[in-house]
Chain A
Amino acid sequence: MSTKQAIKVENVNKSFGKGDAFVDVIKDASFTINKGELVALIAPSGAGKTTLLMMLGCVNEPNSGSMWLGDEQVYENKWLTKETRKIRRQKIGFIFQAHYLIPFLNIIDNLTLLPQANEVKDKDSKAKARELLKYFGIAEKEEAMPSQLSGGQNQRVAIARALMNDPEIILADEPTAALDMNRSIDVVKMLKKIALEQDVAIVMVTHDDRMLEYCDRIMKIENKKVVFEK
């Protein structure tokens, strides 16, 4: 049975450290994000945006609660699978403020690295990579090294990389922070389009209010609580 739900979080708590070093970051978070939705995540610096994203991405373990990705429950007070990394590589696309491409791999290899780990046929993943590069208008750069591309071009490659595994969820941590206004709007529009066309749930951290009008919902962290606006 296929539902609309892409992410479901119930009563999730997250703190770091013990004793004097103890920091409470997220308290009792419960929310659902649907497929095809572009959700903005805004909060002051240090409020826990990255922490929340890394929990949704099965990178950082919550302290307690329940979590579902699609129909699959992945967390119930502990990870329900040892291979959280397999979940990441099969279901999730990551985008960051910097492109974080592998500097010693050319563009097409940067894109096909993850599908290779997913045992996708070389031919298929290359075809997909070329299609994406064309979509992002950098088709002629497939043999180039990241150092030979501009910042904007590399960021588009990074977005393409996040799409290579046909993710159910894309987690974008300040993807436009390093870009100028016009490029930022381009990227957000592009994400919106991807969410709709590919039925992907996207959570995007941003500090820029001008991006919010392109988003479906706005998620905030206020006093360690996750709340929605609009």
Chain B
Amino acid sequence: MIHLAKEDIRHTLGKFIVTAMGVGMLLGIVLIMMGVYRGMIADAEVLLEDLDVDLWIVQENTLGPFAEASRIHEDLQYTLKGYDAIQKSEAITFQSIQIPKGKEQISALAIGYDIYGEISPINPKRLLAGRVIKSEHYEIVVSDKTLFKLGDKIKLGRNFYKVVGITHGSVSSGGDPLVYLSLKDAQELQFTYTNKRVQTDRARGIVNRDAHLVNAIVATVKPIYSLENVSKELKKWLHKSVYTREQQKAVLTKYVIEKASKQIGLFTVILVSVSTIIIALIIYTMTLEKMKEISIMKLIGLPNATIVKMIVEETLLLGVLAFIFGNIFSHLIYDKFPKHVLLESSDALSLFVVVVIASIFASFIGVKKVINADPTAAIGG
């Protein structure tokens, strides 16, 4: 059996491979962008997974700390503990901070938690070095992304904090590294005003109650209770917004990831279209270069199907080869990106399907050229 596409490609192998590599780089970037998106989702859920709680209780009519500011009194955790259905509950703070490091500033998300409490945001599996916070004041656990070492002193607000633990892979939904503080320190950092302000407030008779605020109360529910019902009941009794873990996840996806995914999706569509156009143009020029042969093949009686098959197969092969190069390319460069890039084989598979369909479309203009070719064009008058 003669395989026309194979023979033709063998004849122009170098050019074919270079083209496939070029298109492959575009597809590699598509894979990287899908990876950025996956990385974003994975990052966004780190905190949710590490805390591993059933319920989030936040300021009434707010969506919780992943989407907007929420303030709630820390004492609410004790009210919750009084409910039969509640197993554990703790107060927790979230605050975006800038950590000075040399001349630079590192954006981070500070998590404040009760170091004597039953729920810890620090996943022991993530602890690379050191320990969790043991002292109520001036200790900090940081993500390895911040590049701080054990024993380093970090100035936050008016105080220095000693790095006692290093975690790995702990990032906020925005991709910033997480740092962990005791609840008291975190509250002070977030809600306490300057000495001057405190003095003037006192003089006016204003007591700073804000020091007892937190951003959310998290709780677990005893397994025999229905999560949905408990959530509904609490909402009714506490006059707060109550979200289950799944609902928080949905909030994350909707408010944090949706925009990014639209942007990445748009880029992906554009790059795939550009790849399709390039493939189509290459196949078109390859077809034009063969017009004489195509005319002769038609003249001596070869069916269109044979010739069309050659064009379509060449296009598919170009697409598949570019896809393979794209995968190699993306795996070579993905860890050079500042953002977490998570390459998933399911994404590669969907891209493969898209590339195959795009290649079939790309072959259309070449195929049209074949069908319209005049068999006597080559032999002239």
Contacts and interface: CB of A to CB of B under 8 A. Distances in A.
B2 A92 contact: no
Given A102-B296, A103-B11, A113-B2, A173 B301 contact: no
Contacts of B297: 102, 113
Contacts of B302: 85, 89, 113-114, 117
Contacts of B10: 104
A105 interface: yes
B303 A117 contact: yes
A32 interface: no
Interface string A118-140: 00001000000000000000000
A100 B378 contact: yes
A54 to B, nearest CB: 6
A146 to B, nearest CB: 11
Chain B interface mostly helix, strand, loop or mixed?
helix
Given A50-B379, A60-B376, A122-B1, A100 B296 contact: yes
Nearest to B1: A122
A46 interface: yes
Counting chain B residues whose Cβ lies within 8 A of the other chain, the interface size class is 20 to 34
Contacts of A104: 7-8, 10-12, 293
Interface core residue of B7, B12, B301 (most chain A CB under 10 Å): B301
Interface core residue of A46, A60, A85, A122 (most chain B CB under 10 Å): A85
Given A100-B378, A116-B1, A90 B8 contact: no
A75 interface: no
A88 interface: yes
B75 to A, nearest CB: 82
A59 interface: yes
B167 to A, nearest CB: 60
Interface of B: 1-2, 4, 7-8, 10-12, 292-293, 296-303, 306, 375-376, 378-379, 381
Name the 9 nearest CB pairs between A and B, nearest first.
Answer: A89-B301, A88-B301, A104-B11, A100-B296, A104-B8, A109-B2, A85-B301, A104-B7, A102-B293
